[in-house]
Amino acid sequence: MSDSPKITPADLDYLAMNEVIFILPGFSLGRITLILGDFGPFVPSIATKAPLWFALYLKERKLCQIQVPSWLTCEWLETKRNEERSDPDGPLHPIHLHYMEISSILLNHASDDIPQAEEIRTLIKDIWDMRMSKLRRSISIMIKEQHVHAQVKNISYMELFCIRPHLCNSLFLIDHIQKAS
Amino acid sequence: MNSLSQLNNTSLSQSASFRDSTYVSHYSEAFNFYDIDDILASELRIPCSFNVTAYRLGYLHTNSKTEHIETGTNLELPLWLAKSLAGRKNIVKVSVPIRYTKEIRQELEADANSSDLNKLGPYYYESGIKLLSFDTPDVDAIAEVLIKTFCSRSRYIMDRSHNIYDRDQLQITNRLDESEKKLFMCGRQSVEKFQQWETQKCKKLSSSGFVRMKRKRQFDDI
């Protein structure tokens, strides 16, 4: 059985840094070419796309304002929470696959650009708890009733990280017993 | 001798590569050679009766003073020995150990969560799996019970490993079989890492314990 998961939450943070968000630059600059693609030109106070790591770099130097992604607003998260709450036995609802990482990064580094930051923090935590309990319930049903396959949609990377060791190793053990008999 | 050492080398390197790959379990037969759990699991004692007379092996039977083991003698042999004696020339007849008999199986079927698998045998699943290779009529029933027991205990292990925050783990793990303990620790590690990430602890750089120890030793030398 594997000793520890290879991918850590810090790695997931790193992967999430490549997500593209909108910034309001406080400077002007021509097009820049990155591995992700071309970005810019940057004109002061005109919303422009940029990768998250670049946005954070600028933010640290107070060169830009970060525009909160549409899925990180209070209204949107509230509808999400209500959706998840309304059917506790149903499937997971679509959500940004890096929602935990991006929200944590933005709340920690750019909280002054986010209106109602505290409410958002609570909502994210609520959504996380509900989704995890859903996942745990469906996994235990799957293992108990010995289904051979299950379809899971909309599972985010952080959720996957938390449940993968248990799920994979349980299935390995069951498979091992079945192969021996 | 040379070929043997070569063989050992290849299996060592194989087991090293197996450790690197994250989600490959140790449940593949090929890598079990150096696995201490596997060795301990095959120590399970199995009641056997001899089909033939075993000459000059009387010392194995502690209660008798005879030089030979007579035909029909009942003796408990470790699993690894019984396997080769029963398999090849049908020297012994194997019967199911007490821990896997019908009474215990019924107990497990009735309520798997309340039974103490560590008490039944610290390697209940592993030894049970090894038992399946014997030619006894109970084999199918044992396999079914092993799977059912694990399936119903899985939820308990997952819930505990996800929800125990810095509490005493011993209370939970001392009722688990060794395979379940490993499963528990696996889940535990991922949750611990997640908690560290949540509290931003993983982003702080700290010197490794090895370096600190090394510095101390250098001062001692002076």
Mapping DSSP to helix (H, G, I), strand (E, B) and coil, where does residue B67 land? coil
The verdict on a CB contact (< 8 Å) between B186 and A161 is: no
**A87-132 pLDDT per residue, tens:** 888 889 999 999 999 999 999 999 899 989 999 999 999 999 999 9
- What is the pLDDT at residue B17? 35
User: Per-residue pLDDT averaged across B58-83, rounded?
Assistant: 85
- What is the pLDDT at residue A126? 94
Given CB atoms, is A62 within the 8 Å cutoff of chain B?
Answer: no
Mapping DSSP to helix (H, G, I), strand (E, B) and coil, where does residue A125 land? helix
* Residue among B125, B155, B194 whose CB faces A173 most closely: B125
The verdict on a CB contact (< 8 Å) between A176 and B27 is: yes
> Is B84 exposed, middle or buried (CB count within 10 Å of its CB: 0-12, 13-18, 19+)?
exposed
Instruction: Put the strands of the sheet holding A64-66 in their side by side order.
Output: A48-51, A20-25, A64-66
DSSP B176: S
B126: nearest Cα among A16, A32, A173, A166: A173
| Residues of chain B contacting residue A173, judged by C-beta atoms under 8 Å apart | 25, 27, 125, 150, 179, 183
Kindly tell me if the per-residue pLDDT of A3 is higher than 60: no
Token pair, residue B17, equals 């590569």
The verdict on a CB contact (< 8 Å) between A177 and B147 is: yes
Token pair, residue A164, equals 């993968």
Comparing alpha-carbon positions, the chain A residue that sits nearest to B187 is A166
**Fold type of domain A9-17+69-180:** Methane Monooxygenase Hydroxylase; Chain G, domain 1 (1.20.58)
Which residue bears the tokens 């030793």? Answer: B217
Q: What is the ipTM of this complex?
A: 0.88
Domain locations along chain A: 9-17+69-180
Comparing A102 with B204, the larger pLDDT belongs to A102
Kindly tell me if the per-residue pLDDT of A152 is higher than 90: no
Tell which A residues from 68 to 107 touch B, by Cβ distance under 8 Å.
104
* Residue among A9, A104, A144 whose CB faces B151 most closely: A144
| Residues of chain A contacting residue B130, judged by C-beta atoms under 8 Å apart | 180
Which CATH number is associated with domain B2-44+97-198?
A: 1.20.58.2050
Domain locations along chain B: 2-44+97-198
